[in-house]
Chain A
Amino acid sequence: GAGVSQSPSNKVTEKGKDVELRCDPISGHTALYWYRQSLGQGLEFLIYFQGNSAPDKSGLPSDRFSAERTGGSVSTLTIQRTQQEDSAVYLCASSLTTGDTQYFGPGTRLTVL
């Protein structure tokens, strides 16, 4: 079946612009997670959703970062006033329910010039 999909696959933007990253989880998965991975680094947790609620936003680096999920499906991660240090691969994962096996999408590579 279809896996987790993310769009765009690559995004190049200028410092100070806003960007939106989209994640489509596996159909029927109620939990959705956002991570980011900088070059050569490990996974950095950002936020997770159970349904449309975000019980844990502890990983969001600053108030420039926000995420929402509507209809218990698609999620959007928004970064306002992007900075060069925001450059990374943003990964989305979903699981059947919270705590279950997480399946990752291919990621969005964000480059802030």
Chain B
Amino acid sequence: DAKTTQPTSMDCAEGRAANLPCNHSTISGNEYVYWYRQIHSQGPQYIIHGLKNNETNEMASLIITEDRKSSTLILPHATLRDTAVYYCIVRVVYSGAGSYQLTFGKGTKLSVIP
């Protein structure tokens, strides 16, 4: 799976949009961009994923650049409960062979400030 680069930490004011960037310049054509988050002492939580097009669900929006070398996760109205470590990973889906283990990097520690 391709390597990703994320800022170590970010702050966001409560109620504002949180924009979390991720660089994945070596992404392959069949690799998806996935976002998970981990709130302290909880299991990782799936947020969203995409291949080429921008995606939106009830939790967040994912904006992928046209060259697919970077993406941004957007939490439209951050709350204190969104304080967590956010992980961006790129991975092949349905490859038909090999291990499907997830590997998280260090992620971005997002602190939502009241």
Chain A residues within CB distance 8 Å of chain B: 4, 31, 33, 35, 42-43, 45, 48, 56, 58-59, 91, 93, 95, 97-107
Q: Mark B64-108, 1 if CB is under 8 A from A, else 0.
A: 000000000000000000000000000011111001111111100
Question: Of the candidates A35, A58, A91, A103, which one forms a contact with B46 in the assembled complex, judged by CB atoms under 8 Å apart?
Answer: A103
Q: Which of A31, A91, A106 contacts B100 (CB 8 A)?
A: A31
Residue of B34, B43, B45, B92 most packed against chain A (CB within 10 A)? B43
Q: Which residues of B contact A4 (CB under 8 A)?
A: 43
Interface bin, chain B? 20 to 34
CA A35 – CA B38 in complex, angstroms?
14
Q: How far is the CA of A31 from the CA of B100 in the complex (A)?
A: 10
Consensus secondary structure, chain B interface: loop
A107–B38 alpha-carbon span in the complex (Å): 12
Given contact pairs A43-B102, A101-B34, a sample of 8 additional A-B residue pairs in the complex whose CB atoms are under 8 Å apart: A35-B102, A42-B103, A43-B44, A45-B99, A56-B100, A58-B99, A98-B100, A104-B43
Task: Please tell me if the beta carbons of A106 and B94 are within 8 angstroms of each other in the complex.
Answer: no
Instruction: Tell whether A43 pairs with B46 under 8 Å between CB atoms, given A99-B93, A99-B95, A100-B93.
Output: no
In the complex, residue of chain B having the shortest beta-carbon distance to the beta carbon of A55: B99
- Least CB distance, B70 to chain A, in whole angstroms: 21
A41 to B106, alpha carbons, bound, how many Å? 9
Q: Which residues of A contact B94 (CB under 8 A)?
A: 97, 99-100
A107 x B42 contact (CB < 8 A): yes
Q: Would you call A99 and B103 a contact (CB within 8 A)? A: no
* Closest Cβ–Cβ distance, residue A7 to chain B (whole Å): 13
Interface residues in B41-63 by Cβ distance below 8 A to A read 42-46, 49
- Complex Cα distance, B95 from A99, in Å, reads 7
B100 touching A48, Cβ below 8 Å: yes
What is the CA–CA distance of A105 and B42 in the complex, to the nearest angstrom? 8
